[in-house]
Amino acid sequence: MLKNRVKHPVLYPSVPMTDIFEKFNSLNIMIIGDVMMDSYIWGKIERVSPEAPVPVVKVNKTENRLGGAANVALNVQSLGAKPFICAIIGEDKAGEEFLSLLRNQNLSELGILKIKDRPTTVKTRIIAHNKQIVRVDAETDENISKNETELIIGMIKKTLADQKIDAIIFQDYDKGLITENLISQVVKLADEAGIITVVDPKKRNFHSYKGVHLFKPNLKELQDGLKIIINPRIKEEVENAISKLKTQLGARAVMLTLSEHGVFIQSELGKRHIPAHKRDIADVSGAGDTVIATAALCLAAGMDEFKASEIANLAGGLVCEYVGVVPINKTRLLEESSKL
């Protein structure tokens, strides 16, 4: 772990949850990651196509929403904090629509870099009878150039100089924005400034996030990253894998999300399994965005990793009750968190 990181105060269970959630309103969170537009086509199925054995969806509504790292920003905003996005889009129609969505949500576009001849990532979901039928992705995952990386780092440095940033979230979808060079430079800047760094990783940069505060893979990402198979029901397998990863990264904490098996967290304070809460699951899309946003805010507000993981686990479950990618409802999360 990096030695200069500022120790944040720990808020113990005696502190009212309302006070903690109120503190969210004073926090500024930087989100560095792959933004995208989530496009939805809603309809119903009444027949099978005569051209091929596939259902015909009769469209009754279309909608575009902010997705990826931009959805993390929406969750940060929904919880009361101020998000600052650093990301890339293409110089295309989808990119303009993305910027329009940002403005409609009162999110700043100052940290968005437009890149010529690069498509804006768009994920189109076709939904019938409240179930996702198919998803169509328009994107590239090619890494940005060294010059483009330096432009992004320049934006990040300017934001850090102009704003009080309480936490930095890396929301990595392997779409080409986040590179090893960008990670190392930003983590160094954050460490020098005493800023918490939290990571929602993907495969390409999995082992590059050295010295971060919180590293949050899901089970598939952990297995891919360590190249092992883990049975989430076997405690020893989970604990051994997390211990190995924590040592490799030098991370202060690793939080493994296990879907219906809950969350496993290991930090300098110890280790703990947090069971999942029973939910009527409609759609898991975007749940990881909610978890990382909530965990970052809880840590920045002074909670320890265990309490932050508990509340983030709650938040991830709540958004799964809705179809499509939606941000967390702060009021409902506060109500459920207060019962813990």
Output the six-digit token pair for 36: 């995208």
Q: In this structure, are residues 225 and 201 in contact, taking their beta carbons and an 8 Å threshold?
A: yes
Q: Side by side, which strands form the sheet with 122-128?
A: 55-68, 35-48, 122-128, 131-138
**Structural contact between residues 32 and 197, judged by C-beta atoms closer than 8 angstroms:** no
Q: Where are the beta strands (DSSP E) in the chain?
A: 28-33, 35-48, 55-68, 82-90, 112-115, 122-128, 131-138, 167-171, 196-200, 214-215, 253-257, 263-267, 270-274
Selected catalytic residue, list 166, 191, 200, 289: 289
Cα–Cα distance for residue pair 13/8, rounded to 1 Å? 16
Can 280 be counted among the known catalytic residues? no
Token duo for residue 125: 């979901």
- Report helix, strand or coil for 169: strand
**Which of 236, 223, 200 is closest to 316 using CA atoms?**
200
φ and ψ of 215, to 5 deg: -115, 120
Which residues are identified as catalytic?
A: 289
